Amino acid sequence: MAKVAIISVAIAALSVLVGERVLNISKRHLVFREVANKHLPNCVTLKNIEHGSEDITILCNGLAFISTGLKFPGLPTFDVPGRIYTLDLKDPHLKPVELRMPRNFDLESFNPHGISVYTDPSDDTVYLFVVNHPQFKSQIEIFKYGKDGASLVHLKTIKHELLHSVNDIVAVGAESFYATNDHYFSNEHLKTLEILLLMPWTNVVYYSPNEVKVVSEGYHFANGINMSPDQRYIYVANIFNHSVNVLEKKEDNTLTPVKSVTLGSLCDNIEVDPKTGDLWMGCHINAKKLFLFDPKDPPGSEVIRIQNILSDQPVVTQVYTDDGGVLMGSSVAAVYGGKLLIGTVFHKALCCDLK
């Protein structure tokens, strides 16, 4: 009798624990979250972009770089190689142009993810940094943007044991950058388990040819990373903590935590408006809809802006939302000249007027 009672109590306790765990996971993934549509005027989908536009970055002259064709375990993907496009936002035709890749570069396995641009102040050379996952591994490619404006020159592939599951990067020199790792484990099965448990085990790594080190840790899937216009602060999207972290960059390239800003959404990449310093983020409304893709109940899109992030009262604004009828799985948002460009993990890209 006593034995049965003990077993019942044990089962009850275990159920509570499992139930609590499931509830915690549901909260982290925002599985019950729905938001009403909030559209913007004059939105057009970009020509030629059908298989994702996971990351976008815009130069001060209005030229956007777009990475397409990401294959990410657990998310819908298409059997097309990755490509890099440019889009001149000053041209009203809004026509993305595919950049010609060098012959010595393996295009078949190109699987581009986060991108970042570094402009050399001495000669205005534009370097494009791309997180690449050939066969789901992680490496960083550094390209030079061709003088002809239509091609990329491959300079270097960077691999390092600390750069084991890179999601995004921010370039801080011609050969140096900060990178986020979105997983702790490298093994495929453990990675899947990790997506469910979402322990705060992921980090940010600093890379330069002379030094590679972990500079910040404790993230529930570190995602987008970017820098303030004065280059003093680094911003990291802590996607499954529904927050963005502000860190101060030190002389020795280490990062000291400043604050965390709550967003209430699953924000992915971060772009920074060079004029205002505002952060623009492409966010996921609900991770369940993203991972358990159902075309009849698609994942939606959400764009969030943060103003005055360094002040005591940052202003967090939801600028755009869609239930997936127009745009599925937004991962990035960037602004130029009154226009908002929104990219997605595996769907199209949208360009809207802000007013």
Residues taking part in catalysis: 113
Q: Which two tokens stand for residue 159?
A: 């691999």
Q: Does 245 bind ligand NAG (CB under 6 A)?
A: yes
109 secondary structure, DSSP code: T
177 CB-near residues (< 8 Å, 6+ apart): 116, 129, 140, 169, 170, 171, 206, 207
**The binder of ligand NAG chosen from 119, 176, 260, 307 (CB under 6 A):** 260
**The binder of ligand NAG chosen from 24, 61, 157, 276 (CB under 6 A):** 24
User: How many whole angstroms separate alpha carbon 324 and alpha carbon 332?
Assistant: 15
User: How many whole angstroms separate alpha carbon 177 and alpha carbon 179?
Assistant: 6
CB of 217 to ligand NAG, least distance (A): 9
Q: Does 98 bind ligand NAG (CB under 6 A)?
A: no
> Residue 277: how many CB atoms within 10 A of its CB?
16
Stretch that binds ligand NAG, among 2-10, 18-26, 32-40, 333-341 (CB under 6 A): 18-26
Residue 314-343 contact track with ligand NAG, rule CB under 6 A, x = bound: ------------------------------
28 CB-near residues (< 8 Å, 6+ apart): 198, 220, 240, 241, 287
In the sheet with 126-132, reading across from the earlier edge strand, the strands are: 112-119, 126-132, 139-145, 152-158
Q: Does 15 bind ligand NAG (CB under 6 A)?
A: no
Q: Does 265 bind ligand NAG (CB under 6 A)?
A: no
**The binder of ligand NAG chosen from 165, 241, 265, 321 (CB under 6 A):** 241
Q: Does 199 bind ligand NAG (CB under 6 A)?
A: no
User: Which residue number, 20 or 294, has a Cβ lying nearer to ligand NAG?
Assistant: 20
Residue ranges in contact with ligand NAG by CB under 6 A: 17, 20-21, 24, 200, 218, 238, 241, 243, 245, 260, 262
